[in-house]
Amino acid sequence: MSRGELFDPLFGATAVGAALSDRAWITALLDVEAALARAEAELGVIEPGHADVIDVTAKQLADRIDPAELGQAAVAGGNPVIPLVGQLRAACAAAGVPAAAVHKGATSQDISDTALMLLARRAGVLVITDLRAAADAAAALARTHRDTPMAARTLGQQALPTTFGALAATWCAGLDRAAGGLTAVLAELPVQFGGAAGTLAALHPNGLAVATELAAALGLADQGIPWHAERTRIGELAAVLGVAAGAIAKTATDIIALAATEIGEVAEDAPGGSSAMPHKRNAIAAITARAAARRVPGLVADALGSMDHELQRAAGAWHAEWETITDLLRLTGGAAHRSAQSLTGLHVYPAAMARNLAVTKGLLLAERVTGALSAHTDDAREIVTAAAIKENPELATDPAITAYLGPDRLHELLDPADYLGHAREIVDRVLTERGGVVGLESPTAPANPGPMEPSL
């Protein structure tokens, strides 16, 4: 899994990667410890002065602790919270805070689960921002190209005419839905606080109140009850990230296909080159978005497969989540960022779309011709099928068809711009549902096609 300076920029994960770094993990763990102290002081469980010291000391340690050293120290106990709490207690002791006041009533999983929720919230905001940016760019393309005819393609073949606006509206709808789903899940991510075995016995009768106060202090949802071994929250987070990655991958896959030399209907604003072939103009932002997104489903499966936590705390299934969820956020966030880059300023070539519509000499309108022909003969489908499978088919001049339909009628039937179904309404519906203004060009998506279209 990519982590660091070499691959994070390539796969769009520079910002989200920083929000999920080892340093970010340590900071989140200490943020939870500090918030716990404040919550317990608020309820009279520990002295307010002790909470102040813990809060200040935790912030200082967040910058000082060496992640490599903490990682080595974590080996014995199986998680980094144990040695981290040891360092926090030692640092606080110098200011007269007893060890019992630090991490009071908590267990390691309380701190690590809550820190993971904090990290998911912090990184998730970045993911949503890029998903929204990608959706906005797609909406602008849909608005600008609401009426631009192109060939719809099914199973790799030209099917019927559509508009590029309808395709871009489909991208927009998927990205918006993904952003909305992630937003909803992030809003419900809860604090975790259950103590040694989920009963909060060490803090009774204040344990549940401390949990509620801790959630408020961290800006997380209240847990209701401890969820040490009930991992639906983790499963929901993994699933919604998987859905988001799928929405991104669909858009990227379409852009890559449409940018192919033989199609040439779109191009990225800053395409990538080749170390060996000077002519190459690769849709590299879409390619790397797709690459990052393709690694997400396996991690989703890992997270869902680790939901079977036994009894009150799992041996291994809990530990398997830390890097899995972190990597899910990193990859989905990177894919979203690269998708936004790909869609923003994407160049669209209507002339290439028109050229490709004409390639089949009317075959992609065979459905329409068949419908018109059926008013004259019961053999309409057979006649059009026979005409379509000839070596050089051309519906406008096939004698079996012109025997029933005149040239003016065929010219009308074979006009792609006159057989777009509800394509324009699809664009309008998507833009209306997201609060856009239908029929106006977006300043972020120029109406002109940009650079000269590539010739085939």
How do residues 365-376 score in pLDDT, each as one tens digit?
889 999 999 999
Let me know: does 151 contact 167? Beta carbons within 8 Å.
no
DSSP state of 9: T
| Percentage above 90 pLDDT, the chain | 83
Q: Token pair for residue 19?
A: 């929000």
Helix boundaries (H) for 280-376 = 284-294, 296-305, 321-343, 350-358, 366-373
Can you tell me whether residue 447 is helix, strand or coil? coil
Q: Is residue 62 in some structural domain?
A: yes
Closest by CA position to 173, among listed 131, 135, 127? 135
User: Is 196 within the bounds of a domain?
Assistant: yes
Residue 105 lies in a domain: yes
Local structure of residue 21 (DSSP, 8 states): S
Instruction: Please give the average per-residue pLDDT across 254-264, as a whole number.
Output: 95
Tell whether 261 is covered by a domain.
Answer: yes
Q: 408: burial class by Cβ within 10 Å (0-12, 13-18, 19+)? A: exposed
Distance CA 40, CA 120 (A): 24
Specify if 25 maps to a domain: yes
Gyration radius of the chain's alpha carbons:
29
Give helix 108-144 / helix 232-258 axis angle, nearest 10°. Answer: 30
Q: Residue 388: what pLDDT?
A: 87
Tell me if the bond preceding 446 is cis, omega within 30° of 0: no
Confidence bin at 219 (pLDDT 50/70/90): very high
The answer to whether residue 93 scores a pLDDT higher than 60 is yes
Mean pLDDT of 192-210: 96
* H-assigned helices in 266-309: 284-294, 296-305
Indicate whether 128 pLDDT > 90.
Answer: yes
**Which entry of 313, 355, 424, 429 is annotated as an active-site residue?**
313
Contacts of 72 (CB under 8 A, 6+ apart): none
Whether 392 is covered by a domain: the verdict is no
pLDDT given for residue 437 in this prediction: 52
The CB density around residue 188, as the number of other CB atoms within 10 Å, is: 12
Indicate if the pLDDT at residue 291 is higher than 50: yes
Angstrom distances, CA of residue 82 to CA of 103, 301, 404, 422: 10, 29, 85, 61
Counting the structural domains of the chain, the total is 1
Query: What is the chain's mean pLDDT, rounded?
Result: 91
Residue 313 annotated among the catalytic residues of the structure: yes
The domain in which residue 292 lies consists of 14-350
Measure CA of the first residue to CA of the last residue in the chain; give whole Å: 38
Please check the confidence at residue 275 and state whether its pLDDT lies above 90. Answer: no
How far is 69 from 23, CA to CA, in rounded Å?
12
Catalytic site residue 112? no
In contact, 181 and 240? CB cutoff 8 Å: yes
Mean pLDDT score, 374-401 = 91
Residue 12 pLDDT level (bands cut at 50, 70, 90): confident
CB contact at 8 A, 210 and 105:
yes
In whole angstroms, give the CA distance from residue 77 to residue 179.
38
In a domain, 436, yes or no: no
Its sign, for the CA torsion 19, 21, 27, 31, is positive
- Residue pair 29/80 in contact by the 8 Å Cβ criterion: yes
453 near 349, Cβ under 8 Å?
yes
Q: What is the DSSP string of 149-186?
A: EEEEEETTEEEEEEEHHHHHHHHHHHHHHHHHHHHHHH
Q: How far apart are CA 80 and CA 371, in angstroms?
A: 69
How many whole angstroms separate alpha carbon 185 and alpha carbon 188? 5
Is 48 part of a structural domain of the chain? Answer: yes
Euclidean distance between CA atoms 204 and 214, whole angstroms: 16
Nearest to 340 by CA among 255, 423, 426, 260: 255
Burial of 447 (0-12, 13-18, 19+ CB in 10 A): exposed
Per-residue 3-state assignment (H helix, E strand, C coil) for 202-242: HHCCCHHHHHHHHHHHHCCECCCCCCCCCCHHHHHHHHHHH
Collapsing DSSP states into helix, strand and coil, what is residue 294?
A: helix
Q: The domain spanning residue 90 has which CATH number?
A: 1.20.200.10
Give yes or no for residue 445 having a pLDDT over 70: no
Predicted pLDDT of residue 452: 52
- The residue behind tokens 């209240």 is 222
Q: What is the mean pLDDT of residues 13-19?
A: 92
In the chain, what's the furthest Cα-to-Cα distance?
101
Relative orientation angle of helices 22-42 and 67-74, to the nearest 10 degrees:
70
Tens digit of each residue's pLDDT (9 = 90 or more) over 227-252: 999 999 999 999 999 999 999 999 99
Which two three-digit tokens encode residue 411? 């010219």
